Structures are given as structure tokens and as C-alpha cells.
Amino acid sequence: MPAPDAAATARLAVFAPLESRGRAETITRRLADAISLGLLADGEQLPSEPDLAARLGVATVTVREALSELREQGLIVTRRGRGGGSFVRAPKQEETAERLRRRLSDLTVADLRDIGDHYSTLAAGAALLAAERASPDDLERLGEAAEAFAGAAGIERQHHTDGRFHVEVAAAAQSARLTREEIRTQTDIGPLLWLPGADVHTRRRLDLQHREIVAAIAAEDGELAARLARRHVNESLERLVELHLSLVEPLG
């Protein structure tokens, strides 16, 4: 049987039933996260309201409320009539860059360290479990995700493929809850981590780190995989801290 596409496991987490029923804000956040990370592609049609409600285990009116909020945020558009439905509208890079810089300026170095501690612990734990649990299909998807980053052109595409790589590591850990937390974390901190951009040297180093993590998972060396994942995140955080200081010091 052919391996599923590289995003299949993560997409299952997007549409998994909610832990708490009747939570429109939970649906809104989950779909917004998936759109921001590129798990739901620009222009993609969402399932119908009844289908989405059935998948998520909530009432149709709850889904309708969530979709209304997503329309307010500009993340989906709804068309009526034949061929109609709700379609993803991915935010453009220029629409978010200035907002992200303002958000970064409002944070402190202590805030960033705290965020980094959470993210690196999550990434290390996912890599450790992936080394213990990854199937051959999971390893194939991880390799595809690493290759996607290596071939990505432009900051936005590099950001998306880096985030997708980490989501696939979490998915290889065989935990839907861990995968959803990785998606949430990627959409929360991922855009900030890519604000500094990546020169050729940095991109090559990230590419090498992805491949090293995949190799450690394939070798079932959980301790090494966890250590590499933690280092990967911490180095990205250091670049973000440098940018943060460059933004706030002129204001000091």
C-alpha cells in the first residue's frame, strides 16, 4: 500500500473530535492554526457544516459559529450556490509581518525564554517518542518533510515546511494530542521564529539538523533525537532573541 502524503497524519489531528463538546472557540483556534501552518491550503474547500460537525463531534450550530468567527478574521470565505461552501484564505506574509514585529517588541527576553523552554521540551519529547514508535511510513513522511524544506524557495515557504517537519515528528510519535499541541505551538511561535529570516548558511544548517533528527529517529536513538530537536529549537530561539533586542534597544 502506498504511503499517505506527508500531511495526512497531521490533518487527522486537525479534524479529530474535540475533547470538550460545544466549544466554538476551540474549533476556531484549531482551524486557524491549521490554516496559518499551511495544513489547510489556500483556496481549499472545507468539509460541509454537517460533515465538519460530525467529524468534530459537535452540533452544527457550533460549527456555524466557529466558521463565522473565521470569516471575521478573514481566514475563510463562503460562497453560495452551486459549487459553494467555505474556502480557506491563507494570510499573506505582508499582512502579518508588521503585526508579528509589534508582538515581538512587546515581549521580554524572559517571555521568549519561557516560550522556548516549552517549545524545546515539546520538540524533544516528540522526537524521543517518534524514535520509539515511528513506522516505516512515518519515516518516509519525515524524509519527505525534510526534503520539502530543502527545496523550499522564499521565507514563507521555508517557514511552512519547517513547521510541517516538526508536526510530522509529533505525528510519528503516534499521539494525536501531541500532534495538536505541536500544531498549536508552531502557529503560536513558528511565525515569530522566522521573522529574522534565514541566510544561506542558516538554511543549510537547518536542513542538516532536520536530516540528523530523521536519522536519529530511524536509528531508534531516542536520546540523540531528543537532544538534536532541542538544539534545533534553541538555536532558532537565539536568532529570535537577537532580533528582539535589535527592535527594542533603539527604543530604550
Residues 78 and 124 in one domain: no
C-beta separation of 142 from 10 below 8 A: no
Domain boundary residue, one of 71, 88, 105: 88
Average pLDDT over every residue of 212-221: 98
- Residues 111, 56, single domain; the answer is no
Using alpha carbons, select from 229, 164, 232 the residue that is nearest to residue 198.
Answer: 232
Provide the CATH number for the domain around residue 239. 1.20.120.530
CATH number of the domain enclosing 39: 1.10.10.10
**1 found inside a domain:** no
| Size of the chain in residues | 252
Helix extents (H) in 153-221? 155-172, 176-193, 200-218
Residue 88 has phi, psi (to 5 degrees) of: -70, 135
- 207/32: higher pLDDT: 207
User: Does position 137 have pLDDT exceeding 60, yes or no?
Assistant: yes
- The predicted-structure confidence for 54-100, as pLDDT tens digits, reads as follows 998 888 999 999 999 999 988 899 998 888 899 999 776 665 667 67
User: Among residues of the chain, what percentage have pLDDT more than 90?
Assistant: 47
Residues 131 and 191 occupy one common structural domain: yes
Name the burial class of residue 146, with classes exposed (0-12), middle (13-18) and buried (19+) by CB atoms within 10 angstroms of its CB.
buried
Number of domains in the chain: 2
Can you give the residue range of the structural domain that contains 45? Answer: 8-88
pTM over 0.95: no
My answer on whether 224 and 113 are in the same domain is yes
Tell me, yes or no, whether 66 and 184 share the same domain.
no
User: Could you give the C-alpha distances from 108 to 111, 115, 119, 183, 252, in angstroms and in order?
Assistant: 5, 11, 17, 24, 13
56 lies in some domain? yes
Last residue of some domain: 66, 88, 110? Answer: 88
Q: Is 45 helix (H, G, I), strand (E, B) or coil?
A: strand
Does residue 3 sit within a domain?
no
Strands (DSSP E) contained in 63-165 are: 76-79, 85-88
Cα distance from N-terminal residue to C-terminal residue, the chain: 60
Residues 10-67: tens digit of each pLDDT: 666 667 666 554 478 888 878 887 787 677 888 999 999 999 999 988 889 999 999 9
Last residue of a domain, one of 70, 88, 106: 88
Q: Which residue has the higher pLDDT, 101 or 124?
A: 124
Q: Are residues 228 and 160 in the same domain?
A: yes
Shared domain for 196 and 158, answered yes or no, is yes
